[in-house]
Amino acid sequence: MLLFPRALSVLAVALLAACGGGDDDGGSPPPQRAPRPVSILVEVYDPTTNFVWENVSVRVVESDQEWSGCTCANPVQEWYLTDAAGQVLFDEFALARADVGFVEDGAGGAILGAHHAEDQATVVLEIDAVGFTPVIVEVPLSWSVPDVLVEVPFN
């Protein structure tokens, strides 16, 4: 008779171990990860000389937003010029102003959520200068990599 209760206790311990033990916190959900602001730093350079291009125009054309399923075109052609370092920064506020479908935080900055259905976007940029052929670049953004540096060869 002592064998049967011992077998049950061994079975109970095995079942608890298989279920993660008896230290369950009552089924509370895992902690939520906060949304992250996104940004794109664009560097435009001459691939022949490796020098950067100053005063080259860059703009946000559109964005494909995972959360909405929308590919939203920028309603305004707002151009930004590269600085002496050949760079333009589209921070979370510039991306929100582009009105290409980003969810915005309380301060008005473009964000991506941590949930699998809202953690990715692709932004399309156009780089142009007088006398050159425009270049189109697709920039993937994700919650895990919200700040992206894009180096664009331009000649």
CATH number, domain of 64, equals 2.60.40.10
Quote the mean pLDDT of the chain.
Answer: 87
139 versus 30: the higher-pLDDT residue is 139
77-135 pLDDT, tens digit each: 999 999 999 999 999 999 999 999 999 999 999 999 999 899 999 999 999 999 999 99
**Is 115 part of a structural domain of the chain?**
yes
125 belongs to a structural domain: yes
Question: Is residue 106 one of the residues assigned to a domain?
Answer: yes
Q: What is the three-state SS of the chain?
A: CCHHHHHHHHHHHHHHHHCCCCCCCCCCCCCCCCCEECEEEEEEECCCCCCECCCCEEEEEEEEECCCCEEEECCCCCCEECCCCCEEEECHHHHHHCCCCCEECCCCCEEECCCCCCCEEEEEEEEECCCCCCEEEEEEEECCCCEEEEEEECC
| 98 is a domain residue | yes
In a domain, 22, yes or no: no
Whether residue 7 is predicted with pLDDT greater than 90 in this model: the reply is: no
Q: What is the pLDDT of residue 27?
A: 65
Q: Looking at the domain assignment, is residue 123 inside a domain?
A: yes
pTM of the model: 0.79
Domain that holds residue 125: 36-153
Confidence at residue 153, expressed as pLDDT on a 0 to 100 scale? 97
Grade residue 13 by pLDDT with cuts at 50, 70 and 90: very low
Report the number of distinct structural domains present in the chain: 1
